[in-house]
Structure 1
Amino acid sequence: MLSLIEKLKQVKDFRKDKGKRHPLWIVLIVIILGTMLGYSGYRELGEFAKNNRHRLSQEFNIIPERVPSYSTIRRVMMGVEWQILLKMFNEWALQEYGQRSDINWLGIDGKSLKNTLKNPNNEQQNFIMFVSLFIQESG
């Protein structure tokens, strides 16, 4: 994780200094971790940061009350140069995990069948869902 943080610290911060509360790398790591866990929108990522603020503060040495808000996450997601960030992330992933033969990589996909939904107004549903796992082997 440290090498990813070092790479993220190289991303040019486009924001003005006035009012900046978080280093860009912290906002980016929250976005990356939240996205990897399935959070996709600005508000969802903000909730992820808020709900995991104590763990984030332990891991990244930030004040728990000072995790990035959804509006900060939104501004960063709208302003960051994604091609550069994606290139850095892919370089990191390849460097850290690309050459490891001791890891079995899995592809996962899930689908739910809407027609099997019984009562759409009930939180607890009894519907059919298909989950597929594929092991990726090369050679």
Structure 2
Amino acid sequence: MGSNLIQSLQNIRDFRAVHGRRYPLWLIMLLVIMGIMSGCSSYHALEDFGVRHYEALCEKLGLTLNRLPSDTTFRRVLQKLDFALLAQQFEQWAKDNMNMEPGEGIAIDGKSIKSTVGQSDTGYHSFVNMVSVYSQRQGVVLALQAFESKSTSELKVVQKLLEALALQDVVVTLDALHCQKKLHS
């Protein structure tokens, strides 16, 4: 077995200035992951998650904080966070800690992220997409990859994710986009 998720998140270098830091970066990222897994979809919802679970989180994590991060703290950190580093660390942790069983179902799908359309004044819109690799048995995302539609395609991103994960003896489900005669690397 690999490290726990907190240890993995602690490997990400804190990009913030030392002066004024109230919360360690690993804690903010852990709350984001836990909040999103609990259905939070806004900065306010993440703050509310922290308020609701303050006592349990402080007890389990050994924290001595007066409060957990506010919505503005989540916003400031997430706007500057290198998502690729977070995704890479999370994927490595998931890969090290998830045991795949033969025949396990893995669902892969890409979604466009709302409000990311760029170049709306041209005929070719550029927007951000997210491809996720999901273990149906374990109920957990094994890998994520964001990409801009103008720079690459979902087909290529999925191929790279599958190569990186090196899954064996699993059943992979994909949507109709991936039912093409020729898939190029």
TM value normalised by structure 2: 0.53
Question: Does the CA contact (< 8 Å) of 1:53 and 1:64 recur in 2?
Answer: no
Which consecutive residues of structure 1, in runs of 5 or more, have no partner in the other structure? Answer: 108-134
Which consecutive residues of structure 2, in runs of 5 or more, have no partner in the other structure? Answer: 108-135, 138-168, 172-185
Q: Which residue of 2 aligns with 1:21?
A: 22
Q: Distance in 2 between the 1:100 and 1:64 partners?
A: 38
Structure with greater helix share of residues: 1
Q: Which residue of 2 aligns with 1:114?
A: none
Question: Which amino acid in structure 2 is aligned with residue 51 of structure 1?
Answer: R
Q: Which residue of 1 aligns with 2:131?
A: none
Q: Which residue of 1 aligns with 2:40?
A: 39
Question: Does the CA contact (< 8 Å) of 2:14 and 2:25 recur in 1?
Answer: yes
Question: Does the CA contact (< 8 Å) of 1:42 and 1:73 recur in 2?
Answer: yes
Q: Distance in 2 between the 1:138 and 1:100 partners?
A: 8
- The change in CA–CA distance for 1:78 and 1:49 in structure 2 (over 3 A counts) is same
Q: Which residue of 1 aligns with 2:7?
A: 6
| Cα shift readout 1:57-111 (whole Å, capped 9, x = no counterpart) | 01211135221111111111111100011011011111111x3429x6687xxxx
Do residues 81 (structure 1) and 76 (structure 2) align?
A: no
Question: Which amino acid in structure 2 is aligned with residue 52 of structure 1?
Answer: H
Q: Which residue of 2 aligns with 1:117?
A: none
Q: After TM superposition, where is structure 1 displaced by more than 6 Å over at least 4 residues in a row? A: 104-107
SS at match of 2:4: helix
Q: Which residue of 1 aligns with 2:170?
A: 138
CA RMSD of aligned residues (A): 2.6
- The change in CA–CA distance for 1:106 and 1:64 in structure 2 (over 3 A counts) is farther
Identity, in percent, stands at 28
SS at match of 2:66: helix
Q: Distance in 2 between the 1:63 and 1:90 partners?
A: 29
Question: Which amino acid in structure 2 is aligned with residue 138 of structure 1?
Answer: V
After the TM superposition, which of the residue ranges 76-85 and 56-65 deviates more from structure 2?
Answer: 56-65
Q: Distance in 2 between the 1:69 and 1:17 partners?
A: 18
SS at match of 2:12: coil
The alpha-carbon deviation at position 19 of structure 1 amounts to: 1.4
Q: Distance in 2 between the 1:105 and 1:138 partners?
A: 6
